[in-house]
Amino acid sequence: NAGVTQTPKFRVLKTGQSMTLLCAQDMNHEYMYWYRQDPGMGLRLIHYSVGEGTTAKGEVPDGYNVSRLKKQNFLLGLESAAPSQTSVYFCASSYPSERGSGRETQYFGPGTRLLVL
Amino acid sequence: GNSVTQMEGPVTLSEEAFLTINCTYTATGYPSLFWYVQYPGEGLQLLLKATKADDKGSNKGFEATYRKETTSFHLEKGSVQVSDSAVYFCALSGSGGSNYKLTFGKGTLLTVNP
Contacts of A43 in chain B (CB under 8 A): 44, 89, 102, 104
Q: pLDDT tens for residues B53-111? A: 999 999 999 999 999 999 999 999 999 999 999 999 999 986 666 667 889 999 999 99
Q: pLDDT tens for residues A79-114? A: 999 999 999 999 999 987 655 566 678 999 999 999
- Residue B9: the pLDDT is 85
- Residue A80: the pLDDT is 96
Can you tell me the mean pLDDT for A22-43?
A: 92
B101, B27 contact by CB (below 8 A): no
- Residue B84: closest CA among B4, B13, B33, B35: B13
Q: pLDDT tens for residues A51-83? A: 999 999 999 999 999 999 999 999 999 999 999
Q: Do A58 and B46 touch (CB under 8 A)?
A: no
Contacts of B97 in chain A (CB under 8 A): 100
- Range B83-104 burial, b when 16+ CB lie within 10 A, else e: ebbbbbbbbbbbbeeebbbbbb
Residue A2 Rama label (left phi>0; alpha psi -120 to 50; beta):
alpha
pLDDT-derived band at B50 (thresholds 50, 70, 90) equals very high
Can you tell me the mean pLDDT for A13-38?
A: 95
Give chain B's count of helices (H) and strands (E): 0, 12
Question: What are the E-state strand segments in chain A?
Answer: 4-7, 10-13, 19-25, 31-38, 42-51, 54-57, 65-67, 73-78, 87-94, 107-108, 112-116
pLDDT-derived band at A25 (thresholds 50, 70, 90) equals very high
In sequence order, the β-bridge partners of residue B34 are B49, B91
In whole angstroms, what is the distance from residue B29 CA to residue B41 CA? Answer: 35
Q: Do A102 and B89 touch (CB under 8 A)?
A: no
Q: Do A42 and B102 touch (CB under 8 A)?
A: no
Can you tell me the mean pLDDT for B32-60?
A: 93
Rounded alpha-carbon distances, angstroms, from residue B2 to B76, B85, B111: 23, 28, 29
Q: Do B106 and A42 touch (CB under 8 A)?
A: yes
pLDDT-derived band at B47 (thresholds 50, 70, 90) equals very high
Rounded alpha-carbon distances, angstroms, from residue A9 to A12, A46, A111: 11, 18, 7
In whole angstroms, what is the distance from residue A98 CA to residue A78 CA? Answer: 33
Q: Which residues of A touch B (CB under 8 A)?
A: 4, 31, 33, 40-45, 48, 50, 58, 90, 92, 94, 96, 100-111
Residue A24 in this model has a pLDDT that exceeds 80 = yes
pLDDT-derived band at B113 (thresholds 50, 70, 90) equals very high
